[in-house]
Chains A and B, each alone.
Chain A
Amino acid sequence: AQKVTQAQTEISVVEKEDVTLDCVYETRDTTYYLFWYKQPPSGELVFLIRRNSFDEQNEISGRYSWNFQKSTSSFNFTITASQVVDSAVYFCALSASGGSYIPTFGRGTSLIVHP
């Protein structure tokens, strides 16, 4: 069975603070894929990033960065110098053959950035 845990239900920060959203996953597969999606207040789900299990390189995209660590089964997401527009619910997801490649989503972390 596969599982994704986002222990932080809600995080509240003030603009320009850095914030890290945690994601811990469980799978028995050696090949798997991890994702982050953003759901802003308008409601749509936006794909942010994908990482496969063989690529542990961290990735940076502007103010966003992702830290993938197989040793701790974590795929954390950091927003540097947060902005009000970053306010959203962020979902981590995992797909692997053990789950028939149907993505399992975490429960989401609601990020509120105050001006």
Chain B
Amino acid sequence: DTAVSQTPKYLVTQMGNDKSIKCEQNLGHDTMYWYKQDSKKFLKIMFSYNNKELIINETVPNRFSPKSPDKAHLNLHINSLELGDSAVYFCASSQSFTTGALRGYTFGSGTRLTVV
């Protein structure tokens, strides 16, 4: 069983479209995250949810909207996609926010988004 699973693994779409990436964790963790990895491999946090509540919202265009229907799921919806949104998006989870900071995360396998 995959601990943190993301779908789809690959996503190719045209500029201006709206798309969603789904993430689910079966670890019973309370906290989930979205990270963006750019073409130079730089990893930057975008959002974090703790028990369905948004706790971190870094400087991200408001075209990006996370949604957490329950603590096991954290989806990322992106409106009006732009070329610069092309990246690998990673979902991650941790037992709690503090545990994540102190012990590290469990990451999903990533979603490679290509905007053409």
By a CB distance below 8 angstroms, the chain A residues around B40 are 107
Interface bits B20-43 vs A (CB < 8 Å: 1, else 0) = 000000000000000000001111
By a CB distance below 8 angstroms, the chain A residues around B106 are 47
Q: Tell me, rounded to whole Å, the shortest Cβ–Cβ distance linking A46 to chain B.
A: 7
Q: How far is the CA of A45 from the CA of B104 in the complex (A)?
A: 11
Please give the number of chain B residues whose Cβ is less than 8 angstroms from any Cβ of chain A in the complex. Answer: 25
Is the CB–CB distance between B112 and A43 below 8 Å? yes
Q: Does B101 contact A (CB under 8 A)?
A: yes
By a CB distance below 8 angstroms, the chain A residues around B102 are 33, 50, 52, 95, 101
Is the CB–CB distance between A45 and B101 below 8 Å? no
Is the CB–CB distance between B107 and A46 below 8 Å? yes
By a CB distance below 8 angstroms, the chain B residues around A72 are none
Q: Which residue of B lies closest to A42 (CB)?
A: B109
Q: Tell me, rounded to whole Å, the shortest Cβ–Cβ distance linking A52 to chain B.
A: 7
Is the CB–CB distance between A101 and B109 below 8 Å? no
Interface bits B39-72 vs A (CB < 8 Å: 1, else 0) = 0111111001000000010000000000000000
Q: Which residue of A lies closest to B92 (CB)?
A: A45
Q: How far is the CA of A43 from the CA of B109 in the complex (A)?
A: 6
By a CB distance below 8 angstroms, the chain A residues around B105 are 47, 103
Which residues of B line the A interface, CB within 8 A?
A: 40-45, 48, 56, 88, 90, 92, 97-98, 100-110, 112
Other A-B pairs, 5, CB within 8 Å; known A46-B107, A50-B104:
A37-B104, A43-B88, A45-B110, A89-B41, A95-B102
- 12 pairs, A vs B, C-beta closer than 8 Å: A33-B101, A37-B104, A39-B41, A43-B110, A43-B112, A44-B108, A45-B90, A45-B110, A89-B41, A91-B43, A101-B101, A110-B41
Which residues of A line the B interface, CB within 8 A?
A: 33, 35, 37, 39, 42-47, 50, 52, 89, 91, 95, 100-103, 105, 107-108, 110
